[in-house]
Structure 1
């Protein structure tokens, strides 16, 4: 499987997996990642370019891959994900630019699009959780004064947690009544909910999706591109 890879590329893959593994572990355990991790692996990416058999070609590929940098930083500023997620994408783009061990045609955005598709899976996890609660005759919308459409939307976006942990509240109180709040908020300005028996949306670290998206890129390629080929 690795016959066509140079030593530098094998090191790139090992370094990328190591960085993503450490980042995922730290994010799950502490919900924060020290910037030293990104600085260290940025240094590794520089060394890999320096020791590349063709430095000019490596610089060109890394430069093309870093097109994702302004997009990642924009998504961070818009609050779509955290600063650590943005830095992870930027460093990963320089560490393993457009890397794959298949013949798949990649773009600098493959990891991001793969991660976005995988993140949709959480909607179905929420749906399954809520269906199970409903079949158990639980009144998951007790005391919630909301329209049917918003309740249907809530079933996909979140769930009623008895003792929430690492989740964000979906509830708000208006004129003494509980409502569902789907307004967009900056992820770095949100606090985890610790109120019991409340509707929440899971605060799954996006770096996990990035890591999974990269693994899929390496061994399979672009999910969207490969799905389009089926048609």
Structure 2
């Protein structure tokens, strides 16, 4: 009796597809917290998707030769695996996606080539399926629309905080001393505002490589700017925000702004936020080139000049603007929920205005 009531609402494959909701919820939460999602996250969705693809493919092949059922299933699978899945790889290669974003989109393409259907007592979900019927494409278009709303949300946040600037749609301001607690990229350089500022993951990697903290660096900028002060280096990690603080080789500012001795007995620089960049010339200010030459791989494409300019900005200014960005898996999760409940927002909009 129970089995009959369950299958009356949805097919077993469509029930199983709901496992994507908790998986994407966990991935979105973890992506917000760490900007990292383990590869193993997507393996259950890949495995389930291929199994369901085989089951539904066999059912479609069992239909009479030349029937519309075969043709419809084949078209949806081709669009999902041949268009949506490669888009994830393409966006990753172009730098628009992270690796986790690409894997998430491919997992959707494998798991949802067709629309799931849930016949509830009050309605059949999704309410607004697209005419093409490729569910992964619906999730992708919903994701893009959700992502486009993020700048508006950011602007409202800035307005409520009393911030009014053209940057209010792409970033927010923060105390320089707390910027290492955030994910994103600086929107400022010594020469002005720019979308090409220092990646904050690269900043954390640099600080860990030096075995210092942002607070120590801001308190003793002259000392830290001298590459000769780098006597020992450490593994830089991957730039994730961590609760533990690395061992420091620098001082920190006292409450009244006076100098304080550093760990090795040197005095911290007076007036750590003096508003001017130290003018002492060095062959490699901050040891930026040495850092990038020493680590394995790349610090998210950061150049020595970007690192130097970012550090100069943090030393010069008490507050800075940065773009927090939005992990793509977050709007993808929202787009998935909207697709399950409402359906295809873009298709419904086009139909409402008579374009389809």
Instruction: Give your verdict on TM over 0.5.
Output: yes
Between the aligned partners of 1:203 and 1:43, the Cα distance in structure 2 is: 31
1:104 aligns with 2:129: yes
Computing the radius of gyration from Cα coordinates, the structure with the larger value is 2
Between the aligned partners of 1:166 and 1:83, the Cα distance in structure 2 is: 17
- Inter-CA distance 38–10: structure 2 relative to 1 (3 Å threshold): same
Alignment correspondent of 2:321: 199
Alignment correspondent of 1:73: 89
Deviations 1:172-203, CA, capped at 9 Å, x for gaps = 123xxxx1113599999268x99562111113
Deviations 1:112-143, CA, capped at 9 Å, x for gaps = 22111111222112212332343xxx7x7xxx
**1:83 Cα shift?**
1.4
Between the aligned partners of 1:10 and 1:201, the Cα distance in structure 2 is: 39
3-state DSSP class of the match of 1:104?
coil
Alignment correspondent of 1:26: 30
- Inter-CA distance 133–18: structure 2 relative to 1 (3 Å threshold): closer
Given that 1:168 and 1:190 are in contact with CA atoms closer than 8 Å, whether structure 2 keeps it comes out as no
Alignment correspondent of 1:42: 46
3-state DSSP class of the match of 1:109?
helix
Given that 1:99 and 1:217 are in contact with CA atoms closer than 8 Å, whether structure 2 keeps it comes out as no
Q: TM-score, normalised by structure 2?
A: 0.52
Alignment correspondent of 2:79: 64
Between the aligned partners of 1:132 and 1:171, the Cα distance in structure 2 is: 22
Given that 2:46 and 2:107 are in contact with CA atoms closer than 8 Å, whether structure 1 keeps it comes out as yes
Between the aligned partners of 1:129 and 1:200, the Cα distance in structure 2 is: 14
1:158 aligns with 2:171: yes
Alignment correspondent of 1:170: 187
Between the aligned partners of 1:229 and 1:184, the Cα distance in structure 2 is: 42
Alignment correspondent of 1:146: none
1:6 aligns with 2:128: no
**1:170 Cα shift?**
0.9
Q: Size of the alignment, in residue pairs?
A: 210
- Inter-CA distance 220–190: structure 2 relative to 1 (3 Å threshold): farther
Given that 2:186 and 2:196 are in contact with CA atoms closer than 8 Å, whether structure 1 keeps it comes out as no
**1:18 Cα shift?**
2.8
Given that 2:142 and 2:344 are in contact with CA atoms closer than 8 Å, whether structure 1 keeps it comes out as yes
**1:11 Cα shift?**
0.7
3-state DSSP class of the match of 1:221?
coil
Given that 1:160 and 1:198 are in contact with CA atoms closer than 8 Å, whether structure 2 keeps it comes out as yes
Q: TM-score, normalised by structure 1?
A: 0.76
CA RMSD for the aligned pairs? 3.2
Alignment correspondent of 1:226: 348
Any gaps of 5 or more consecutive residues in structure 2?
1-5, 62-69, 117-124, 202-298, 303-309
